[in-house]
Amino acid sequence: MILATVGPGEKIIVPRNIHRSVMGGLILSGARPVFVQPVVDPQLQIAMNVTTESVAAAIREHPDAKAVLLVNPTYYGVAADIAGITELAHRHGLLVLVDEAHGPHFHFSTELPVDGMQAGADIVVQSTHKILGALSQASLLHCRRQRISVPRLETMLQLTQSSSPNYILLASLEAAVRQMAEAGPELVERALRLARTARDRIQEIPGLFCFGAERLGAPGVFAHDPTKLAVTVSGLGIQGNDAEMWLRCVGKVQAELSDWNNVLFLVTQADDQVTVARLTDALQELSREHSGGAARSQALFVPLPAEETLLALSPREAMFSRREPVSFAAAAGRICAETVTCYPPGIPILVPGERVTPAVVQYCQALRQQGFTILGPEDPTLNTLEVVA
């Protein structure tokens, strides 16, 4: 998407909570990102989505931008006003690209946020393997011909994809598309029904909270996908990764991801009443096991860094610059030359070209000490960081 629409030195407006694959597109293209900060929920410590006002401000401040990239929804199921932002961007002559990795089912229910194509976006990519029934690595890319050069898009696909296509993956895409064409609304409705049941049960479990419709209308929460169950466990006095480990080893339930305060689960067309009951029973047992531990949580907690990203170089310039390793503890003030990501959810904490701040140093060190997985840097222990020499 990015290679087909922007080139070296051209500006593209993107949310700061992009997936690391978007950063890869920025590095390959040489485009210069204009970061828009998502709204962070202070209670849940979850980065929600961007507001229409913040995107409008970025467009005013950067009238030479060529495109806007949106995430619809975030990993936690939170969607922006994608139709309103698309109309705003088109009015100013910008293309609209949508990372809809976690929204390929939106098209099949009016209870879900609007999908990118219905909202009028120009290019939308969907991870068909994440929510629908295709095999891993199988995705769909949709585009409108009115504003997009299809030959250029095809050329960029050829540059980035293997010249030996995997026909097993292609066949799985065909099967997933056919399944949704024949029974999509029914399958999605069943998942929604199961998710509602699960959320109601979770809300009754002491020490747990699962946000949903009550957040609608809050800053950064234009719409929400109810099939994403983000369970806040801080009321039990434990961290999200502790809960994930306990649920896997003891409760025999695998979470999608965990963060400081939350554990995320996806309810999909593959689920039924049995799997939902196993999840809620395991969460009930987690609550009983850790009741009375709320006093321990605050000592472990480090908030998300709140500063805006200070981009000194484009990601490509920083990635290919002369680099040197420095002590991560002393990296504040230097220009990062690599990507540092906590995975999942795969959102970069540091990106190439960004000036490192003391708050980010503290946050990354705390993540590492608490056992979160860090991907991207040459030194995964984060004792050192590659910076621009």
Q: How confident is the model at residue 365 (pLDDT cuts 50, 70, 90)?
A: confident
What does pLDDT average to over the chain?
93
**pLDDT value of residue 81:** 98
**Domains of the chain (ranges plus CATH)?**
2-168 (3.40.640.10), 184-300 (3.90.1150.10), 315-388 (3.90.100.10)
**pLDDT value of residue 366:** 85
Report whether pLDDT(305) > 80: no
Strands (E), 66-156: 67-71, 78-79, 95-99, 123-126, 140-143
Taken in order 11, 12, 17, 23, the sign of the CA dihedral is: negative
- Per-residue pLDDT reduced to its tens digit, 242-273: 999 999 999 999 999 998 899 999 999 999 99
Whether the Cβ atoms of residue 357 and residue 349 lie closer than 8 Å to each other: no
Beta-bridged to residue 350, according to DSSP, are 340
Instruction: Report the percent of the chain where pLDDT is more than 70.
Output: 95
- Give Rg (Cα) of the chain: 21
- Per-residue pLDDT reduced to its tens digit, 21-70: 999 999 999 999 999 999 989 888 888 999 999 999 999 999 999 999 99
What are residue 139's phi and psi, to 5 degrees?
-140, 165
Report whether pLDDT(338) > 70: yes
Q: Which residue has the tokens 């590095």?
A: 27
Between 3-12, 222-231, 232-241, the lowest mean confidence (pLDDT) is in 232-241
Structure tokens given for 205: 């479990």
Average pLDDT over residues 72-83: 97
Q: Give exposure, 89-111, as e/b (b: 16+ Cβ within 10 Å).
A: bbeeebbbbbbbbbbbbbbbbee
Please state, in angstroms and rounded to a whole number, the distance separating the CA atoms of residues 211 and 226.
9
Among 265, 115, 269, CA closest to 185: 269
Please state, in angstroms and rounded to a whole number, the distance separating the CA atoms of residues 130 and 113.
17
- Per-residue pLDDT reduced to its tens digit, 218-234: 999 999 999 999 999 99
